[in-house]
Amino acid sequence: MATTSKPDKLDEVRKAVDRLDSETRSADQLMKGITLLLNEHMLKYNWVGFYMLEPGARPPVLVLGHYQGAMTPHTRIPLNQGICGAAASSGKTVVVDDVATDSRYLACSLETKSEIVVPVFVRGEVAGELDIDSHFPAAFGAEDRNIVEYCAQVVGKRLERERAATS
Ligand code: SME
């Protein structure tokens, strides 16, 4: 019997993100495009947004950038607060299957059940992060982690190129 495997989601998103990377005029536009793409394409990604470290801020603070989804009260997050702060300060992806059981969680919407936050690196340093909330518990499995980490990587490389060109 012939086997036809359907193209996996990671592959599809990779291609779409690569296309966005080559078609957008700035890292800022790329980030906007990624929030739109993931929010539209991935059914369980109900809130998708970037937080970027404010340049020169001491103590460091994450500032909300482009996002899709409900308005959030958390537009500035210090690194010692929230799941966002945990991901940025550790430089590691954080996946929370049930936000109700995580004392670090800063509520954005009552509907949110699970969350993934992936750091964006520029020249090996955390420059910001991609944050995704879902209305479904445990929405972020291994494939989702790969997809979101790929998006964060492409943004980091784009920021590197952009910052090298303007410095
Ligand atoms: N839940 C995040 C705050 C950002 S909102 O989800 C958009 C946190 O705990 O850091």
Q: Is 48 in the pocket of ligand 1 (CB under 6 A)?
A: no
Compute CA distances 154 → 18, 59, 128, 130, 163, whole Å: 8, 27, 13, 11, 14
Q: CA 139 to CA 23: how far, in whole Å?
A: 30
Do the bridges between strand 114-122 and strand 125-134 make them parallel or antiparallel, or are there none, so unpaired? antiparallel
| Alpha helix (H) residue ranges in the chain | 9-23, 27-41, 82-90, 142-166
Per-residue pLDDT in tens (0 to 9) along the chain, 167 residues: 555 555 688 899 999 999 999 999 999 999 999 999 999 999 999 999 999 999 999 999 999 999 999 999 999 999 999 999 999 999 999 999 999 999 999 998 999 999 999 999 999 999 999 999 999 999 999 999 999 999 999 999 999 999 888 87
Q: How far is the CA of 105 from the centre of ligand 1 (A)?
A: 6
User: Looking at ligand 1, which residue's alpha carbon is closest to its atom 6?
Assistant: 108
